[in-house]
Amino acid sequence: MAVSTDEKREVRVAESSYDIAKIRSDFPILQMERAGKPLVYLDNAATAQTPNAVIDALTRYYTCENANVHRGVHYLSQTATTRYEDARKKIANFFHAPVGCEIIFTRGATEAINLVASSYGEAHVGEGDEIIISHLEHHSNIVPWQILCERKGAKLRVIPINDAGEMILEEYEAMLSPRTKIVAVNHVSNALGTINPVETIIELAHAQGVPVLLDGAQAAPHMPVDLKALNCDFYAFSAHKVYGPTGIGCLYGNAKLLNAMPPYQSGGDMIMSVSFEKTTYNSLPYRFEAGTPNIADAIAFGAALDYLSAIGMAEIAAYEQELLAYGTEALQEVKGLELIGTAKHKAGVLSFVMEHAHPHDIGQLLDDENIAIRAGHHCAQPVMQRYGVPATARASLGMYNTREEIDAMVEALHKVNKVFA
Ligand X SMILES: *Cc1c(COP(=O)(O)O)cnc(C)c1O
Residues tagged active-site = 379
Contact segment (CB under 6 A) with ligand X among 17-25, 48-56, 103-111, 352-360 equals 103-111
Give the whole-angstrom CA distance, residue 96 versus residue 300: 19
Q: Helix, strand, or coil here: 271? A: strand
In angstroms, the CA 201 to CA 167 distance is 10
Question: Which segment (136-144, 159-167, 203-211, 299-307) binds ligand X by CB under 6 A?
Answer: 136-144
CB of 60 to ligand X, least distance (A): 24
**Least distance (Å) from ligand X to the CB of residue 272?**
29
| Residue 196 binds ligand X (CB under 6 A) | no
* Closest CB 107 distance from ligand X, rounded Å: 7
- Contacting range for ligand X; rule: CB under 6 A; set: 71-79, 192-200, 214-222, 403-411: 214-222
* Minimum CB distance to ligand X, residue 5 (Å): 38
Of the candidate spans 133-141, 313-321, 353-361, 403-411, the one that interacts with ligand X by CB under 6 A turns out to be 133-141
Q: Does 44 bind ligand X (CB under 6 A)?
A: no
- Under 8 Å between Cβ of 204 and 176: yes
**Minimum distance, C-beta of residue 115 to ligand X, in the bound complex (Å):** 12
Residue 109 touches ligand X, criterion: CB under 6 A: yes
> Does residue number 118 form part of the binding site for ligand X (CB under 6 A)?
no
The SS3 call for residue 232 is coil
Cβ atoms within 10 Å, residue 22 = 9
Q: Is residue 159 classed as helix, strand or coil in its secondary structure?
A: strand
Query: Does the protein bind ligand X through residue 287 (CB under 6 A)?
Result: no
Q: How many residues does the chain have?
A: 421
Q: Does 108 bind ligand X (CB under 6 A)?
A: yes
Among 44, 49, 110, 402, the residue binding ligand X under the rule CB under 6 A is 110
Q: Tell me the site size for ligand X, rule CB under 6 A.
A: 16
Contacting ligand X within 347-376 (CB under 6 A): none
Q: Which is nearer to ligand X, 198 or 410 (by Cβ)?
A: 198
275 contacts: CB under 8 Å, gap ≥ 6 = none
**Contacts of range 231-237, beta carbons closer than 8 Å, 24 or more positions apart:** 231/202, 231/206, 232/198, 232/202, 233/257, 234/112, 234/116, 234/120, 235/95, 235/187, 236/106, 236/109, 236/112, 236/113, 236/116, 236/141, 237/109, 237/112
Q: How far is the CB of 187 from ligand X (least distance, A)?
A: 8
- Which of 83, 88, 135, 138 touches ligand X by CB under 6 A? 138
The helix (run of H) or strand (run of E) holding residue 253 is: strand 249-254
Give the span between the Cα atoms of 377 and 389, in whole angstroms: 9
- β-strand 349-354 against 337-340: which pairing, if any? antiparallel
Cα–Cα distance between 414 and 421 in angstroms, integer?
A: 10
Question: What mask, x for binding ligand X by CB under 6 A, covers residues 217 to 256?
Answer: xx-------------------x-xx-------x-------
CB 337 within 8 A of CB 352: yes
Which of 20/225 has CB closer to ligand X? 225
C-alpha 253/C-alpha 272 separation (Å) is 21
Q: Judge whether 398 and 49 are in contact, CB under 8 Å.
A: yes
**Closer Cβ to ligand X, 334 or 359, answer by number:** 359
Give the contacts of 411 (CB within 8 A, at least 6 positions apart): none
The answer to whether residue 270 forms part of the interface with ligand X (CB under 6 A) is: no
* Residue 219 CA, distance from chain mean position: 6
Q: Using CB under 6 A, which of the segments 27-35, 59-67, 104-112, 313-321 binds ligand X?
A: 104-112
Q: What is the dihedral sign for C-alpha 62, 66, 70, 76?
A: negative
Q: How far is the CB of 113 from ligand X (least distance, A)?
A: 7
Q: Does 392 bind ligand X (CB under 6 A)?
A: no
> Per CB under 6 A, which of residues 139..168 are in contact with ligand X?
140-141
- Binding footprint of ligand X on the chain (CB under 6 A): 45, 108-110, 138, 140-141, 186, 190, 215, 217-218, 238, 240-241, 249
